[in-house]
Structure 1
Protein backbone atom coordinates (compact mmCIF):
# COMPACT_ATOMS: atom_id res chain seq x y z
CA UNK A 1 0.00 0.00 0.00
CA UNK A 2 1.22 3.52 -0.81
CA UNK A 3 1.82 5.37 2.46
CA UNK A 4 -0.29 8.45 3.19
CA UNK A 5 -0.24 11.18 5.78
CA UNK A 6 -3.09 10.89 8.24
CA UNK A 7 -4.66 12.97 11.01
CA UNK A 8 -7.79 12.17 13.01
CA UNK A 9 -9.49 15.43 13.96
CA UNK A 10 -12.69 16.39 15.76
CA UNK A 11 -15.31 18.58 14.11
CA UNK A 12 -18.23 19.04 16.50
CA UNK A 13 -19.85 16.54 18.82
CA UNK A 14 -23.21 15.26 20.01
CA UNK A 15 -24.43 14.06 23.38
CA UNK A 16 -26.64 11.11 24.32
CA UNK A 17 -26.73 8.23 26.85
CA UNK A 18 -23.86 5.79 26.51
CA UNK A 19 -26.30 2.88 26.79
CA UNK A 20 -27.67 3.70 23.34
CA UNK A 21 -24.28 2.80 21.86
CA UNK A 22 -23.06 -0.17 23.92
CA UNK A 23 -24.75 -2.97 25.84
CA UNK A 24 -24.62 -2.33 29.59
CA UNK A 25 -23.51 1.27 29.13
CA UNK A 26 -24.33 4.12 31.46
CA UNK A 27 -27.63 5.97 31.26
CA UNK A 28 -25.71 9.22 31.76
CA UNK A 29 -25.21 11.41 28.71
CA UNK A 30 -21.80 11.13 27.04
CA UNK A 31 -20.11 13.40 24.51
CA UNK A 32 -19.39 11.70 21.19
CA UNK A 33 -16.98 13.64 18.94
CA UNK A 34 -17.52 13.61 15.19
CA UNK A 35 -14.08 12.66 13.88
CA UNK A 36 -12.76 13.51 10.44
CA UNK A 37 -9.84 11.78 8.74
CA UNK A 38 -7.45 14.14 6.96
CA UNK A 39 -5.54 12.03 4.45
CA UNK A 40 -2.59 13.46 2.54
CA UNK A 41 -1.77 11.47 -0.56
CA UNK A 42 1.80 12.02 -1.85
CA UNK A 43 0.62 12.74 -5.40
CA UNK A 44 -3.16 13.16 -5.48
CA UNK A 45 -3.61 15.79 -2.77
CA UNK A 46 -5.66 15.86 0.39
CA UNK A 47 -8.85 13.87 1.05
CA UNK A 48 -11.31 14.08 3.94
CA UNK A 49 -12.84 10.93 5.36
CA UNK A 50 -16.29 12.26 6.34
CA UNK A 51 -16.85 15.90 7.26
CA UNK A 52 -18.14 15.93 10.84
CA UNK A 53 -20.75 18.44 11.97
CA UNK A 54 -21.34 21.81 10.35
CA UNK A 55 -23.70 24.76 10.75
CA UNK A 56 -25.62 23.21 7.84
CA UNK A 57 -26.77 20.53 10.30
CA UNK A 58 -28.49 23.18 12.42
CA UNK A 59 -30.22 24.61 9.35
CA UNK A 60 -31.33 21.17 8.14
CA UNK A 61 -32.78 20.27 11.55
CA UNK A 62 -34.69 23.50 12.12
CA UNK A 63 -38.04 22.38 10.61
CA UNK A 64 -40.21 19.56 11.89
CA UNK A 65 -39.81 16.54 11.71
CA UNK A 66 -36.06 17.03 11.14
CA UNK A 67 -35.81 18.86 14.48
CA UNK A 68 -36.44 15.51 16.18
CA UNK A 69 -32.97 14.46 15.03
CA UNK A 70 -31.41 17.39 16.88
CA UNK A 71 -33.49 16.76 20.00
CA UNK A 72 -32.46 13.10 20.09
CA UNK A 73 -28.75 13.91 19.74
CA UNK A 74 -28.05 17.47 20.93
CA UNK A 75 -25.15 18.87 18.93
CA UNK A 76 -22.26 21.15 19.90
CA UNK A 77 -20.67 23.05 17.01
CA UNK A 78 -18.39 25.68 18.53
CA UNK A 79 -16.94 28.71 16.79
CA UNK A 80 -13.74 26.76 16.20
CA UNK A 81 -15.68 24.10 14.30
CA UNK A 82 -16.97 26.45 11.62
CA UNK A 83 -15.61 25.43 8.21
CA UNK A 84 -13.07 28.16 7.47
CA UNK A 85 -11.96 28.40 11.09
CA UNK A 86 -11.54 24.65 11.38
CA UNK A 87 -9.46 24.50 8.20
CA UNK A 88 -7.24 27.36 9.34
CA UNK A 89 -6.78 25.88 12.81
CA UNK A 90 -5.46 22.66 11.33
CA UNK A 91 -3.40 24.23 8.58
CA UNK A 92 -5.59 22.91 5.76
CA UNK A 93 -5.85 24.95 2.56
CA UNK A 94 -9.31 24.47 1.08
CA UNK A 95 -7.92 24.46 -2.46
CA UNK A 96 -5.69 21.50 -1.54
CA UNK A 97 -8.69 19.25 -0.83
CA UNK A 98 -8.98 16.89 -3.79
CA UNK A 99 -12.13 15.10 -2.65
CA UNK A 100 -14.16 13.50 0.10
CA UNK A 101 -14.57 9.89 1.17
CA UNK A 102 -17.95 9.24 2.80
CA UNK A 103 -18.32 6.29 5.17
CA UNK A 104 -22.13 6.62 5.07
CA UNK A 105 -24.77 9.31 4.73
CA UNK A 106 -25.88 9.91 8.33
CA UNK A 107 -26.06 13.61 9.12
CA UNK A 108 -23.11 13.67 11.51
CA UNK A 109 -20.84 12.32 8.75
CA UNK A 110 -21.92 14.49 5.81
CA UNK A 111 -23.04 17.77 7.36
CA UNK A 112 -20.12 19.60 5.73
CA UNK A 113 -20.31 17.96 2.31
CA UNK A 114 -21.88 21.07 0.80
CA UNK A 115 -18.48 22.79 1.00
CA UNK A 116 -16.98 20.12 -1.25
CA UNK A 117 -19.88 19.00 -3.43
CA UNK A 118 -18.19 20.12 -6.66
CA UNK A 119 -15.20 17.85 -6.06
CA UNK A 120 -15.08 14.05 -6.32
CA UNK A 121 -17.09 12.33 -3.59
CA UNK A 122 -16.15 8.70 -3.05
CA UNK A 123 -19.12 6.89 -1.52
CA UNK A 124 -21.45 3.91 -1.71
CA UNK A 125 -23.97 3.88 -4.54
CA UNK A 126 -26.39 2.00 -2.28
CA UNK A 127 -25.97 4.63 0.41
CA UNK A 128 -26.56 7.58 -1.91
CA UNK A 129 -29.53 5.88 -3.56
CA UNK A 130 -31.02 5.17 -0.12
CA UNK A 131 -30.61 8.81 0.88
CA UNK A 132 -32.36 10.04 -2.26
CA UNK A 133 -35.29 7.64 -1.82
CA UNK A 134 -35.99 8.36 1.83
CA UNK A 135 -38.98 10.37 3.04
CA UNK A 136 -38.69 13.04 5.70
CA UNK A 137 -40.08 11.03 8.63
CA UNK A 138 -38.32 7.80 7.67
CA UNK A 139 -35.12 9.75 7.06
CA UNK A 140 -35.13 11.19 10.58
CA UNK A 141 -35.72 7.74 12.05
CA UNK A 142 -32.76 6.39 10.09
CA UNK A 143 -30.41 9.35 10.68
CA UNK A 144 -30.64 10.69 7.11
CA UNK A 145 -31.01 14.35 6.15
CA UNK A 146 -31.14 14.65 2.35
CA UNK A 147 -31.02 18.45 2.58
CA UNK A 148 -27.39 18.19 3.70
CA UNK A 149 -26.26 16.57 0.45
CA UNK A 150 -26.54 18.88 -2.58
CA UNK A 151 -27.55 17.33 -5.88
CA UNK A 152 -24.12 18.21 -7.21
CA UNK A 153 -22.77 15.32 -5.16
CA UNK A 154 -24.65 12.87 -7.39
CA UNK A 155 -22.86 14.17 -10.47
CA UNK A 156 -19.45 14.00 -8.81
CA UNK A 157 -19.90 10.67 -7.03
CA UNK A 158 -17.32 7.91 -7.48
CA UNK A 159 -18.83 4.70 -6.17
CA UNK A 160 -16.97 2.20 -3.99
CA UNK A 161 -18.91 -0.66 -5.56
CA UNK A 162 -17.46 0.18 -8.98
CA UNK A 163 -13.82 0.52 -7.91
CA UNK A 164 -11.48 -2.41 -8.65
CA UNK A 165 -11.12 -5.02 -5.93
CA UNK A 166 -7.65 -5.41 -4.46
CA UNK A 167 -6.35 -7.85 -1.87
CA UNK A 168 -5.72 -6.31 1.56
CA UNK A 169 -2.41 -6.91 3.34
CA UNK A 170 -2.52 -9.75 5.87
CA UNK A 171 -2.46 -7.29 8.76
CA UNK A 172 -6.12 -6.48 8.16
CA UNK A 173 -7.34 -10.11 8.44
CA UNK A 174 -10.05 -11.39 8.55
CA UNK A 175 -10.80 -8.54 6.12
CA UNK A 176 -9.22 -9.78 2.90
CA UNK A 177 -10.23 -7.37 0.14
CA UNK A 178 -11.02 -3.72 -0.42
CA UNK A 179 -12.10 -1.51 -3.30
CA UNK A 180 -9.24 0.59 -4.64
CA UNK A 181 -10.85 4.01 -4.83
CA UNK A 182 -7.85 5.88 -6.31
CA UNK A 183 -6.56 2.99 -8.39
CA UNK A 184 -3.09 2.92 -6.85
CA UNK A 185 -3.59 0.74 -3.76
CA UNK A 186 -3.34 3.64 -1.29
CA UNK A 187 -6.94 3.83 -0.04
CA UNK A 188 -9.05 0.69 0.06
CA UNK A 189 -12.75 0.96 0.91
CA UNK A 190 -13.94 -1.97 3.02
CA UNK A 191 -17.63 -2.77 3.35
CA UNK A 192 -18.69 -2.93 7.02
CA UNK A 193 -22.39 -3.79 6.79
CA UNK A 194 -25.09 -3.56 9.41
CA UNK A 195 -25.10 -0.02 10.74
CA UNK A 196 -27.05 1.25 7.74
CA UNK A 197 -27.33 0.71 4.02
CA UNK A 198 -24.09 1.63 2.28
CA UNK A 199 -21.80 1.69 5.32
CA UNK A 200 -18.08 1.34 4.51
CA UNK A 201 -14.76 1.77 6.25
CA UNK A 202 -11.34 2.63 4.84
CA UNK A 203 -8.02 0.76 5.06
CA UNK A 204 -4.78 2.71 4.74
CA UNK A 205 -1.13 2.67 5.74
CA UNK A 206 0.37 5.86 7.18
CA UNK A 207 3.72 7.42 6.35
CA UNK A 208 4.96 6.02 9.68
CA UNK A 209 4.00 2.55 8.43
CA UNK A 210 0.99 2.06 10.71
CA UNK A 211 -1.94 0.05 9.36
CA UNK A 212 -5.24 1.82 10.10
CA UNK A 213 -8.85 0.78 9.57
CA UNK A 214 -11.30 3.67 9.77
CA UNK A 215 -14.43 1.92 11.02
CA UNK A 216 -17.08 4.64 10.75
CA UNK A 217 -20.03 3.65 12.92
CA UNK A 218 -19.38 -0.09 12.80
CA UNK A 219 -18.94 0.59 16.50
CA UNK A 220 -19.30 3.83 18.41
CA UNK A 221 -16.76 3.00 21.12
CA UNK A 222 -13.46 1.15 20.98
CA UNK A 223 -14.36 -0.82 24.08
CA UNK A 224 -17.17 -2.46 22.11
CA UNK A 225 -14.37 -4.25 20.24
CA UNK A 226 -12.10 -4.85 23.22
CA UNK A 227 -14.94 -6.17 25.40
CA UNK A 228 -17.19 -7.70 22.74
CA UNK A 229 -20.15 -5.48 23.66
CA UNK A 230 -22.44 -4.50 20.77
CA UNK A 231 -25.02 -1.73 20.93
CA UNK A 232 -28.41 -2.83 22.24
CA UNK A 233 -30.78 -4.47 19.80
CA UNK A 234 -33.15 -1.49 19.77
CA UNK A 235 -30.40 0.78 18.39
CA UNK A 236 -29.14 -1.50 15.65
CA UNK A 237 -32.66 -2.54 14.62
CA UNK A 238 -33.74 1.11 14.37
CA UNK A 239 -30.85 2.16 12.14
CA UNK A 240 -29.87 -0.96 10.25
CA UNK A 241 -29.62 -4.75 10.45
CA UNK A 242 -28.68 -6.26 13.82
CA UNK A 243 -27.50 -9.62 12.46
CA UNK A 244 -25.14 -8.03 9.95
CA UNK A 245 -24.00 -5.43 12.48
CA UNK A 246 -22.97 -8.09 14.97
CA UNK A 247 -21.21 -10.14 12.28
CA UNK A 248 -19.18 -7.04 11.41
CA UNK A 249 -18.39 -6.51 15.09
CA UNK A 250 -17.10 -10.09 15.34
CA UNK A 251 -14.84 -9.46 12.34
CA UNK A 252 -13.51 -6.29 13.96
CA UNK A 253 -12.85 -8.18 17.20
CA UNK A 254 -10.91 -10.82 15.26
CA UNK A 255 -8.93 -8.14 13.42
CA UNK A 256 -8.09 -6.34 16.65
CA UNK A 257 -6.97 -9.50 18.46
CA UNK A 258 -5.13 -11.02 15.51
CA UNK A 259 -3.16 -8.02 14.26
CA UNK A 260 -1.02 -6.31 16.86
CA UNK A 261 0.03 -3.55 14.46
CA UNK A 262 -3.50 -2.65 13.32
CA UNK A 263 -5.31 0.40 14.68
CA UNK A 264 -9.11 0.46 14.37
CA UNK A 265 -10.63 3.92 14.68
CA UNK A 266 -14.39 4.33 15.24
CA UNK A 267 -15.72 7.71 14.16
CA UNK A 268 -17.06 8.76 17.56
CA UNK A 269 -14.67 7.29 20.15
CA UNK A 270 -12.74 9.99 22.02
CA UNK A 271 -10.63 7.40 23.84
CA UNK A 272 -9.50 5.65 20.63
CA UNK A 273 -8.73 9.01 19.04
CA UNK A 274 -6.66 10.12 22.03
CA UNK A 275 -4.67 6.87 22.07
CA UNK A 276 -3.99 7.17 18.37
CA UNK A 277 -2.79 10.77 18.59
CA UNK A 278 -0.47 9.91 21.45
CA UNK A 279 1.20 6.94 19.83
CA UNK A 280 0.58 6.86 16.08
CA UNK A 281 -0.16 10.29 14.64
CA UNK A 282 1.99 11.62 11.79
Structure 2
Protein backbone atom coordinates (compact mmCIF):
# COMPACT_ATOMS: atom_id res chain seq x y z
CA UNK A 1 0.00 0.00 0.00
CA UNK A 2 1.46 3.37 -1.03
CA UNK A 3 1.42 6.08 1.61
CA UNK A 4 1.25 9.76 0.89
CA UNK A 5 4.54 11.60 1.50
CA UNK A 6 5.23 12.69 5.06
CA UNK A 7 4.74 16.46 5.23
CA UNK A 8 6.83 18.60 7.54
CA UNK A 9 5.11 18.97 10.89
CA UNK A 10 3.77 22.47 11.41
CA UNK A 11 6.50 24.31 13.34
CA UNK A 12 5.30 27.89 13.15
CA UNK A 13 3.16 29.65 15.74
CA UNK A 14 -0.52 28.89 15.81
CA UNK A 15 -2.72 31.68 14.44
CA UNK A 16 -3.86 34.23 16.99
CA UNK A 17 -7.34 33.72 18.39
CA UNK A 18 -9.32 35.56 21.06
CA UNK A 19 -12.51 33.56 21.51
CA UNK A 20 -14.99 35.09 23.98
CA UNK A 21 -15.29 33.37 27.35
CA UNK A 22 -18.91 32.31 26.71
CA UNK A 23 -18.19 30.60 23.41
CA UNK A 24 -18.91 26.85 23.38
CA UNK A 25 -18.86 23.89 20.98
CA UNK A 26 -21.34 20.98 20.97
CA UNK A 27 -21.86 17.90 18.82
CA UNK A 28 -25.35 17.01 17.60
CA UNK A 29 -25.26 13.41 16.29
CA UNK A 30 -28.24 12.71 14.03
CA UNK A 31 -27.53 9.12 13.02
CA UNK A 32 -25.13 6.84 11.20
CA UNK A 33 -24.87 4.69 8.09
CA UNK A 34 -22.74 1.63 7.43
CA UNK A 35 -19.92 1.09 4.99
CA UNK A 36 -16.84 -1.09 4.75
CA UNK A 37 -13.40 0.21 5.62
CA UNK A 38 -12.21 -1.11 2.25
CA UNK A 39 -14.31 1.59 0.58
CA UNK A 40 -13.30 4.33 3.02
CA UNK A 41 -9.51 4.41 2.81
CA UNK A 42 -6.62 2.61 1.12
CA UNK A 43 -5.69 -0.53 3.01
CA UNK A 44 -9.04 -0.83 4.77
CA UNK A 45 -10.43 -4.31 5.30
CA UNK A 46 -13.66 -5.47 3.69
CA UNK A 47 -14.43 -7.31 6.94
CA UNK A 48 -14.19 -4.05 8.92
CA UNK A 49 -17.64 -2.43 9.12
CA UNK A 50 -17.61 1.27 9.90
CA UNK A 51 -20.46 3.40 11.20
CA UNK A 52 -20.24 6.68 9.32
CA UNK A 53 -21.36 9.62 11.45
CA UNK A 54 -23.92 12.18 10.34
CA UNK A 55 -23.17 14.77 13.01
CA UNK A 56 -23.67 18.52 13.11
CA UNK A 57 -21.59 20.82 15.30
CA UNK A 58 -23.05 23.84 17.07
CA UNK A 59 -20.62 26.69 17.73
CA UNK A 60 -22.17 29.13 20.19
CA UNK A 61 -20.76 32.67 20.00
CA UNK A 62 -22.14 35.96 21.31
CA UNK A 63 -22.05 37.38 17.77
CA UNK A 64 -24.35 34.60 16.56
CA UNK A 65 -24.29 30.83 16.61
CA UNK A 66 -23.39 28.63 13.66
CA UNK A 67 -24.05 25.02 12.81
CA UNK A 68 -21.28 23.28 10.92
CA UNK A 69 -23.32 20.99 8.62
CA UNK A 70 -26.80 19.75 9.52
CA UNK A 71 -26.72 15.95 9.51
CA UNK A 72 -29.77 13.83 8.75
CA UNK A 73 -33.17 15.51 8.53
CA UNK A 74 -36.74 14.34 8.98
CA UNK A 75 -37.05 13.67 5.22
CA UNK A 76 -34.07 11.31 5.32
CA UNK A 77 -35.87 8.40 3.67
CA UNK A 78 -36.86 10.58 0.72
CA UNK A 79 -33.32 11.90 0.44
CA UNK A 80 -31.84 8.40 0.42
CA UNK A 81 -34.32 7.21 -2.20
CA UNK A 82 -33.12 10.03 -4.45
CA UNK A 83 -29.59 8.56 -4.46
CA UNK A 84 -28.31 6.03 -6.99
CA UNK A 85 -28.86 2.53 -5.60
CA UNK A 86 -25.15 1.90 -5.17
CA UNK A 87 -24.89 4.88 -2.81
CA UNK A 88 -27.66 3.72 -0.48
CA UNK A 89 -26.47 2.08 2.72
CA UNK A 90 -28.01 0.70 5.92
CA UNK A 91 -28.67 3.72 8.09
CA UNK A 92 -30.11 4.84 11.39
CA UNK A 93 -31.73 8.18 12.17
CA UNK A 94 -31.59 9.07 15.85
CA UNK A 95 -32.69 12.67 16.41
CA UNK A 96 -32.52 15.56 13.95
CA UNK A 97 -30.70 18.80 14.72
CA UNK A 98 -34.02 20.62 14.91
CA UNK A 99 -35.36 18.10 17.44
CA UNK A 100 -32.22 18.33 19.56
CA UNK A 101 -32.32 22.13 19.59
CA UNK A 102 -35.98 22.09 20.56
CA UNK A 103 -35.56 19.53 23.35
CA UNK A 104 -32.71 21.57 24.84
CA UNK A 105 -34.81 24.74 24.91
CA UNK A 106 -32.47 26.43 22.46
CA UNK A 107 -33.68 29.72 21.00
CA UNK A 108 -33.27 29.22 17.24
CA UNK A 109 -33.28 32.98 16.73
CA UNK A 110 -29.68 32.79 17.96
CA UNK A 111 -28.77 30.68 14.94
CA UNK A 112 -26.95 32.86 12.41
CA UNK A 113 -26.79 30.05 9.89
CA UNK A 114 -25.66 26.61 8.76
CA UNK A 115 -22.10 26.71 7.47
CA UNK A 116 -21.84 23.71 5.15
CA UNK A 117 -18.48 22.03 4.64
CA UNK A 118 -19.90 20.97 1.26
CA UNK A 119 -23.25 20.33 -0.37
CA UNK A 120 -23.55 16.53 -0.32
CA UNK A 121 -26.81 15.05 0.98
CA UNK A 122 -25.51 13.63 4.27
CA UNK A 123 -24.25 17.07 5.33
CA UNK A 124 -27.33 19.09 4.39
CA UNK A 125 -30.37 16.83 4.85
CA UNK A 126 -31.22 18.48 8.18
CA UNK A 127 -31.35 21.97 6.66
CA UNK A 128 -34.90 21.23 5.55
CA UNK A 129 -36.04 21.27 9.20
CA UNK A 130 -34.44 24.64 9.97
CA UNK A 131 -35.17 28.26 9.09
CA UNK A 132 -31.57 29.46 9.31
CA UNK A 133 -29.59 30.97 6.42
CA UNK A 134 -27.12 28.77 4.57
CA UNK A 135 -23.51 29.97 4.64
CA UNK A 136 -21.70 28.87 1.49
CA UNK A 137 -18.90 30.17 -0.74
CA UNK A 138 -19.19 30.94 -4.45
CA UNK A 139 -17.40 27.81 -5.67
CA UNK A 140 -19.56 25.50 -3.60
CA UNK A 141 -22.72 27.37 -4.53
CA UNK A 142 -21.94 26.81 -8.21
CA UNK A 143 -21.37 23.13 -7.51
CA UNK A 144 -24.61 22.93 -5.51
CA UNK A 145 -26.62 24.51 -8.32
CA UNK A 146 -25.39 22.17 -11.02
CA UNK A 147 -23.92 18.91 -9.72
CA UNK A 148 -25.87 15.68 -9.78
CA UNK A 149 -24.61 14.95 -6.27
CA UNK A 150 -26.22 18.11 -4.88
CA UNK A 151 -29.88 17.40 -5.66
CA UNK A 152 -30.77 17.08 -1.97
CA UNK A 153 -29.15 20.45 -1.31
CA UNK A 154 -31.28 22.03 -4.01
CA UNK A 155 -34.39 20.50 -2.45
CA UNK A 156 -33.73 21.47 1.18
CA UNK A 157 -32.32 24.92 0.41
CA UNK A 158 -35.45 26.12 -1.38
CA UNK A 159 -36.74 29.20 0.40
CA UNK A 160 -33.64 29.61 2.55
CA UNK A 161 -31.57 32.77 2.61
CA UNK A 162 -28.14 32.18 1.05
CA UNK A 163 -25.30 33.93 2.89
CA UNK A 164 -22.36 33.89 0.49
CA UNK A 165 -18.87 34.48 1.85
CA UNK A 166 -15.43 34.77 0.30
CA UNK A 167 -11.83 34.09 1.26
CA UNK A 168 -10.24 37.49 1.66
CA UNK A 169 -8.15 36.58 4.71
CA UNK A 170 -4.51 35.46 4.92
CA UNK A 171 -3.13 31.95 4.72
CA UNK A 172 -4.09 29.76 7.66
CA UNK A 173 -2.17 26.70 8.85
CA UNK A 174 -0.91 25.98 5.35
CA UNK A 175 -4.13 26.77 3.50
CA UNK A 176 -3.66 29.65 1.06
CA UNK A 177 -6.59 31.86 2.13
CA UNK A 178 -9.18 32.10 4.85
CA UNK A 179 -12.39 33.69 6.13
CA UNK A 180 -12.52 34.77 9.79
CA UNK A 181 -16.21 34.54 10.64
CA UNK A 182 -16.26 36.72 13.77
CA UNK A 183 -12.98 38.58 13.31
CA UNK A 184 -11.54 37.12 16.52
CA UNK A 185 -9.94 33.92 15.19
CA UNK A 186 -12.46 31.68 16.94
CA UNK A 187 -14.03 30.33 13.72
CA UNK A 188 -11.91 30.42 10.58
CA UNK A 189 -12.90 28.82 7.28
CA UNK A 190 -10.25 27.70 4.78
CA UNK A 191 -10.91 26.69 1.19
CA UNK A 192 -9.84 23.08 0.65
CA UNK A 193 -11.62 22.15 -2.57
CA UNK A 194 -11.25 18.93 -4.49
CA UNK A 195 -13.94 16.82 -2.86
CA UNK A 196 -16.36 19.35 -4.27
CA UNK A 197 -15.49 22.66 -5.92
CA UNK A 198 -15.78 24.76 -2.78
CA UNK A 199 -15.46 22.27 0.07
CA UNK A 200 -13.94 23.78 3.19
CA UNK A 201 -12.19 23.09 6.47
CA UNK A 202 -13.58 24.92 9.50
CA UNK A 203 -11.06 25.68 12.26
CA UNK A 204 -12.55 26.40 15.69
CA UNK A 205 -10.66 27.64 18.75
CA UNK A 206 -12.30 27.45 22.17
CA UNK A 207 -11.65 29.86 25.09
CA UNK A 208 -9.54 27.12 26.70
CA UNK A 209 -7.20 27.20 23.71
CA UNK A 210 -8.45 23.83 22.44
CA UNK A 211 -8.47 23.80 18.63
CA UNK A 212 -10.48 21.74 16.18
CA UNK A 213 -10.25 21.21 12.45
CA UNK A 214 -13.62 20.11 11.04
CA UNK A 215 -12.38 18.80 7.71
CA UNK A 216 -15.59 17.60 6.07
CA UNK A 217 -14.81 14.78 3.65
CA UNK A 218 -11.10 15.34 2.97
CA UNK A 219 -10.98 11.86 4.40
CA UNK A 220 -13.94 9.86 5.65
CA UNK A 221 -12.11 8.30 8.59
CA UNK A 222 -9.24 9.28 10.89
CA UNK A 223 -7.26 6.46 9.30
CA UNK A 224 -6.66 8.81 6.38
CA UNK A 225 -4.80 11.17 8.71
CA UNK A 226 -3.05 8.61 10.91
CA UNK A 227 -2.00 6.32 8.05
CA UNK A 228 -1.52 9.09 5.43
CA UNK A 229 -3.72 7.35 2.90
CA UNK A 230 -6.32 8.50 0.41
CA UNK A 231 -9.61 7.01 -0.54
CA UNK A 232 -9.31 3.93 -2.79
CA UNK A 233 -8.92 4.77 -6.48
CA UNK A 234 -12.51 3.89 -7.40
CA UNK A 235 -13.94 5.99 -4.57
CA UNK A 236 -11.72 8.94 -5.50
CA UNK A 237 -13.06 8.73 -9.03
CA UNK A 238 -16.66 8.59 -7.82
CA UNK A 239 -16.53 11.01 -4.89
CA UNK A 240 -13.98 13.73 -5.67
CA UNK A 241 -14.07 16.46 -8.31
CA UNK A 242 -10.28 16.93 -8.08
CA UNK A 243 -8.40 14.15 -6.21
CA UNK A 244 -5.09 16.03 -6.51
CA UNK A 245 -6.50 18.99 -4.56
CA UNK A 246 -7.90 16.62 -1.94
CA UNK A 247 -4.45 15.07 -1.56
CA UNK A 248 -2.80 18.47 -1.11
CA UNK A 249 -5.34 19.56 1.50
CA UNK A 250 -5.16 16.23 3.30
CA UNK A 251 -1.41 16.62 3.70
CA UNK A 252 -1.87 20.14 5.08
CA UNK A 253 -4.13 18.67 7.75
CA UNK A 254 -1.67 15.85 8.47
CA UNK A 255 0.99 18.51 9.07
CA UNK A 256 -1.06 20.24 11.80
CA UNK A 257 -2.69 17.16 13.33
CA UNK A 258 -0.48 17.40 16.40
CA UNK A 259 -1.77 20.89 17.19
CA UNK A 260 -5.51 20.47 16.57
CA UNK A 261 -8.17 17.80 17.04
CA UNK A 262 -8.92 16.70 13.50
CA UNK A 263 -12.56 15.79 12.92
CA UNK A 264 -13.43 14.06 9.64
CA UNK A 265 -17.17 14.48 9.34
CA UNK A 266 -17.95 10.76 9.14
CA UNK A 267 -15.66 9.32 11.82
CA UNK A 268 -17.75 8.62 14.93
CA UNK A 269 -14.68 8.51 17.18
CA UNK A 270 -13.35 11.87 15.95
CA UNK A 271 -16.00 13.70 17.98
CA UNK A 272 -14.76 12.25 21.27
CA UNK A 273 -14.47 14.97 23.89
CA UNK A 274 -16.94 17.33 22.24
CA UNK A 275 -19.96 17.53 24.57
CA UNK A 276 -23.54 16.91 23.60
CA UNK A 277 -25.99 19.79 23.76
CA UNK A 278 -27.40 19.89 27.34
CA UNK A 279 -31.11 19.11 27.68
TM-score range normalised by the length of the shorter chain: 0.7 to 0.9
Q: How far did 1:90 drift?
A: 4.8
Query: Which one has more relative contact order, counting CA pairs under 8 Å at least 6 apart?
Result: 2
Quickly say closer, same or farther: Cα 1:83–1:116, change in 2 above 3 A. same
- Residues 1:157 and 2:162 are matched in the alignment: yes
- Equivalent residue runs for 1:171-182 within 5 Å: 173-175=173-175, 177-182=177-182
- Residues 1:273 and 2:271 are matched in the alignment: yes
**Alignment-derived partner of residue 210 in structure 1:** 210
**Alignment-derived partner of residue 56 in structure 2:** 36
Q: How far did 1:147 drift?
A: 4.5
- Equivalent residue runs for 1:220-259 within 5 Å: 220-240=220-240, 241-256=242-257
- Equivalent residue runs for 1:1-282 within 5 Å: 1-3=17-19, 4-28=23-47, 29-41=49-61, 43-62=62-81, 66-68=82-84, 72-78=88-94, 81-90=95-104, 92-117=106-131, 119-134=132-147, 139=148, 142=149, 144-153=151-160, 156-161=161-166, 163-168=167-172, 173-175=173-175, 177-240=177-240, 241-256=242-257, 260-274=258-272, 276-277=273-274
Structure 1, residues 23-52: CA drift from partner, whole Å, max 9, x if none? 1112143211112111011x2232110000
How many positions carry a matched residue from both structures?
Answer: 256
What TM-score results when the alignment is normalised by the length of structure 1?
0.81
Q: How far did 1:120 drift?
A: 2.9
- Give the match's secondary structure for 1:112: helix
Q: How far did 1:245 drift?
A: 1.4
Structure-1 separation of matches of 2:235 and 2:260: 28
Any stretches of 5+ residues in structure 1 without a counterpart? Answer: none
CA contact 1:11–1:53 (8 Å) conserved in 2: yes
What TM-score results when the alignment is normalised by the length of structure 2?
0.82
- Give the match's secondary structure for 2:41: coil
Structure-1 separation of matches of 2:89 and 2:102: 27
CA contact 2:98–2:129 (8 Å) conserved in 1: no
Give RMSD over aligned pairs.
2.5
Structure-2 separation of matches of 1:83 and 1:187: 20
